[in-house]
Structure 1
């Protein structure tokens, strides 16, 4: 049986998953063509989970850019 994740670890993993998916979509489709629904659709998370981490799509984009540099 695997150990239960703490709330902080769940939050960190969710944020990481969002950034990884968003980075891929921004790179392949561009910023304008990438919506928040596309970012969360195959992650199994809610829109609320995304907005808990980031204020909006621009906030996600900024985090992706900051992480890259």
Structure 2
């Protein structure tokens, strides 16, 4: 279903380009990326916290010392 929504959004952006359809396509892409990230984390494949940028609030608050 999600693939169909993405394909329809792409088709509309190509056939009827406008600010609304381009914005809709971008929102579909952003939503898909968030969904992929969520599944990645739930699968246990998130990078370790040691890979977080220096000064990140996550490493500052939760780093074991």
TM-score by shorter chain over 0.5: no
Which protein, 1 or 2, shows the higher relative CO under an 8 Å CA cutoff with sep ≥ 6? 1
TM-score band w.r.t. shorter chain: 0.3 to 0.5
TM-score (norm 1): 0.39
Whose helix proportion is higher, 1 or 2? 2
TM-score (norm 2): 0.41
